[in-house]
Structure 1
Amino acid sequence: MTATTLDAPNARELARFHQRLLGWPTRRDEPDWVELAPPDGGAGLSFQTEPLFTPPRWPSTGSEQQMMTHPDIGVSDLASAVGHALALGATLAEFQPRADVRVLCDPVGHPFCLFVRTDEYA
């Protein structure tokens, strides 16, 4: 796998949020397509403009767009990482299923999880 792609009303705007969140450089930047490359050379994160984008609902319900995938991001300090994400424009999800993980949503509503990397998640 080379990348996971997230749809958005504006690919560049969402890519800027995730670029600042992750600190990854931009590999490709076109008006409706942006690719971020991880420093270690693994699978990247891409963004494409989708004019009919509907934000996913977390937690899922039967009557709204369901979350189909979400990034899990390992961090060294959960409180600092949550503060950083919130300062960039993320929102804290109302429902938090675990005490050691924080579910947030990016500016267009894609959920993502922050957690402290431990042996359990290695």
Structure 2
Amino acid sequence: MANRWVGVTVDCVDVERVAAFWSRLLDRPAGPSRPGWVYLGLPGDPQPRLVFQPVAEPPTGKLRLHLDVAVDDVDEGIAQVVALGGRFTGERHDYDAGVVVVMADPEGHEFCLVRYAV
């Protein structure tokens, strides 16, 4: 039997708020979910599902895993994240291979917007 990656689970105090942010950012609708949880995507989708599970405590410290979101325009991507309730951390890296900016969702989970050089 082959193992396969099917999803990423994010701990959230406000599941609905954080899931709505990611749903709009990635244009992925919520699928069937457990009560109190939100799943973006459906089982069997070509992309892994994002799962938002409720927890009582807010995040503390830097997470050791984050998502990379490819964008066509970094400035437009930053503006979209901010308009959806996220924030730009101020961290930007310009590499020969492209640009990476560090963002945070409404609960502070960091992720990167990436624009690859062609």
TM category (shorter chain) comes to 0.7 to 0.9
Consecutive aligned runs of 4 or more in structure 1 exceeding 3 Å deviation: none
Aligned residues: 108
RMSD after superposition: 1.8
Query: CA shift at 1:13, angstroms?
Result: 1.3
5+ residue gaps, structure 2, are none
Counterpart in 2 of 1:54?
59
State how far apart, in whole Å, the 2-side matches of 1:109 and 1:73 are. Answer: 16
State how far apart, in whole Å, the 2-side matches of 1:18 and 1:5 are. Answer: 12
Question: CA separation of 1:28/1:89 partners in 2, compared to 1, >3 Å: closer, same or farther?
Answer: same
State how far apart, in whole Å, the 2-side matches of 1:66 and 1:94 are. Answer: 15
Per-residue CA deviation, residues 5-54 of structure 1 (Å, 9 max, x unaligned), is: 1111021111001001111111124442111128x622111101101232
Q: Is the 8 A contact 2:38 2:51 kept in 1?
A: yes
5+ residue gaps, structure 1, are 56-64
Q: Is the 8 A contact 1:3 1:43 kept in 2?
A: yes
Counterpart in 1 of 2:105?
106
Q: Which has the higher strand share?
A: 2
The TM-score with structure 1 as length reference comes to: 0.79
Matched, 1:45 2:50: yes
Calculate percent identity across the aligned residue pairs. 30
Query: CA shift at 1:84, angstroms?
Result: 0.7
